[in-house]
Amino acid sequence: MINRTKWLSVPGLVWLGIFFFIPLLLVTVLSFMERGTYGQVVYSFTLQNYVRFFDPLYVSILFDTLVVSVLTTLLSLMIGYPLAYYIARMDKKWQHTWLLAVMIPFWINFLVRSYAWVVILRTQGVVNTFLQSLGLITEPLPLLYNFGAVMLGMVYTLLPFMVLPIYVSLEQMDRRKLEAAYDLGATPLKAFWHVTLPLTRPGIVTGSILVFVSSIGMFVVPDVMGGAKSALIGNVIQNQFLSARDWPFGSALSIILMLLCIVLIFLYYRVIRVQEREGGVE
């Protein structure tokens, strides 16, 4: 009977095969095809789509995307770590409430969350109206549709991704190790640097990967808060599929994006494994 139970995985696996793995394969194949004059796919092999990626336009967009993603990750880490630390150290009965409070915005549709910032920051938005009514400014400030607005939106939407894994690793950390450090005369800052930070590295790595992977493919936030000038690689891909109708090129771009992610996930696993080796007997 135990062996029969294993067959129960078949429907789920077949589903994922048809709707996840085969589509990915199709995209890979498509990325080597040509685009016809009217946007249709022409089935002849070419490397043109990958060559085209090295056009300075797309390279610079990818570069911008990487900059935005790295900055988003760093900012989320800097903002999220202290919060996670505070939650992990507070009274047990409040911890779950705070965690829930962090998670609720995370579950709210991020289109809605980006839009909320538009309501606040636009020309006739809450901030500008408020400042004008106080007489502090006469002309509305250009708060939206710039690089800063994109960064704000990214960090705002992705911050909970960082807080949760860091909280988990802080929670799992053996507090006695910290006590031992204090006992051996470490100052709080030194103890944090040499004990807490290394021991919570798996959480930092997981959170960073989650934020980074999510921001690298993001197209909604730049679309809603950044305007035309702040297009990221996600917007370019979306555009190739829905307006430009150049599916082969869009596919090539997504394959490049996926490879980037796979390399990152691979790095993540390596770091974790190193971590486990160093961690020794927990």
Please give the residues from 128 up to 157 whose contact with other proteins meets the rule CB under 8 A.
Answer: 128-130, 133, 156
Q: Interaction with other proteins in 48-77: which residues (CB under 8 A)?
A: none
The CB-of-100 to other proteins minimum distance in angstroms stands at: 6
CA distances from 216 to 70, 86, 152, 167, 184 (A): 9, 29, 15, 23, 43
The residue from 51, 111, 180, 197 that contacts other proteins (CB under 8 A) is 111
CA distance 215 to 233: 10
Say how far residue 78 (Cα) sits from the centre of its chain. 15
Tokens of 79: 């903002």
The CB-of-77 to other proteins minimum distance in angstroms stands at: 13
Q: Does 27 bind other proteins (CB under 8 A)?
A: yes
Q: HSE (CB half, 13 Å, CA atoms) of 19?
A: 6
Q: Which is nearer to other proteins, 63 or 269 (CB)?
A: 269
CA distance 263 to 271: 12
Q: Residue 123 contacts by C-beta under 8 Å, 6 or more apart in sequence?
A: 140, 142, 144
Q: Does 16 bind other proteins (CB under 8 A)?
A: yes
Q: For 32, phi and psi rounded to 5 degrees?
A: -105, 10
- Judged by DSSP in three states, 54 sits in coil
Measured from the Cβ of residue 279, the count of other Cβ atoms closer than 10 Å reads 13
Q: Which is nearer to other proteins, 113 or 177 (CB)?
A: 113
> Which 8-state DSSP code applies to residue 47?
S
The CB-of-9 to other proteins minimum distance in angstroms stands at: 3
Binding span for other proteins by CB under 8 A among 50-58, 59-67, 169-177, 239-247:
239-247
Q: Interaction with other proteins in 169-228: which residues (CB under 8 A)?
A: 188, 213-214, 216-217, 219-220, 223-224
| Contact between 153 and 143 (Cβ < 8 Å) | no
Q: Which is nearer to other proteins, 15 or 193 (CB)?
A: 15
The CB-of-186 to other proteins minimum distance in angstroms stands at: 13
What sections of 135-246 are H helices per DSSP? 147-172, 175-183, 188-191, 197-199, 201-216, 220-221, 233-242
The residue from 202, 203, 226, 234 that contacts other proteins (CB under 8 A) is 234
The residue from 26, 78, 180, 263 that contacts other proteins (CB under 8 A) is 26
- Compute the CA torsion angle 40, 23, 208, 163 (nearest 10 deg): 110
Q: Does 167 bind other proteins (CB under 8 A)?
A: no
Q: Interaction with other proteins in 245-274: which residues (CB under 8 A)?
A: 247, 250-251, 254, 257-258, 261, 265
The residue from 205, 211, 237, 252 that contacts other proteins (CB under 8 A) is 237
